[in-house]
């Protein structure tokens, strides 16, 4: 059994609803899932799009990374995800960040997620759940990676209306 950490994001339509549906799916699939709070985050890379809601999920799993990725893609599709513009707007984005102490530099998915330490919108909610977790392949904890990240994008706790 290994802990898997996932990043969830949505910036189209009913963002809260898509993330709530994802939380239900994670709970049904994995049981004792833990969730960070929701974070309102400025888009990176493709900046001419709505702000995101992001969240991190922690689960325990014995599944292969490939089966986890397949499940994540089906979850995205169930919420209307269409891959039209790379890094563009989406109803739901589900990324596997970490899986136990796995290091996987080839294949799909790459583990740890190759850009997670460059993204404040990933590190902030991950640090809420697991600040002392060591990132495999790096001599950094999640909290230290968040302190060092150079990403200028704004990230703030989401206050639901």
* Catalytic residue IDs: 81, 90, 93, 95
**DSSP H helix total and E strand total for the chain:** 4, 6
10 Å CB burial of residue 132 (0-12, 13-18, 19+) is exposed
* 145-152 contacts, C-beta under 8 A, 24 or more apart: 145/117, 146/120, 149/117, 149/118, 149/119, 149/120, 149/123, 150/118, 151/44, 151/118, 151/119, 151/120, 151/121
DSSP string, 20-62: HHHHHHHHHHHSS-EEPPPEEE---SS-SSPPEEEEEEEEEE-
Q: Beta-strand (E) ranges in 62-139?
A: 93-99
């Amino acid at each position: 059994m290994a802990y898997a950490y996932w990043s969830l994001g949505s910036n189209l339509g009913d963002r809260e609803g898509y993330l709530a549906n994802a939380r239900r799916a994670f709970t049904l699939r994995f049981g004792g899932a833990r969730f960070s709070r929701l974070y309102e985050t400025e888009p990176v890379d493709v900046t001419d799009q709505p702000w995101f809601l992001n969240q991190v999920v922690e689960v325990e799993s014995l599944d292969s990374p490939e089966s986890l990725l397949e499940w994540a893609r089906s979850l995205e599709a169930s919420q209307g995800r269409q891959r039209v513009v790379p890094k563009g707007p989406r109803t739901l984005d589900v990324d596997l960040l970490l899986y136990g102490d796995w290091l996987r530099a080839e294949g799909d998915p790459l583990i740890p997620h190759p850009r997670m330490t460059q993204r404040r919108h990933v590190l902030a909610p991950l640090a809420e759940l697991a600040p002392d977790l060591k990132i495999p392949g790096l001599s950094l904890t999640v909290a230290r990676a968040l302190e060092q990240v150079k990403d200028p994008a704004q990230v703030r706790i989401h206050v639901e209306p």
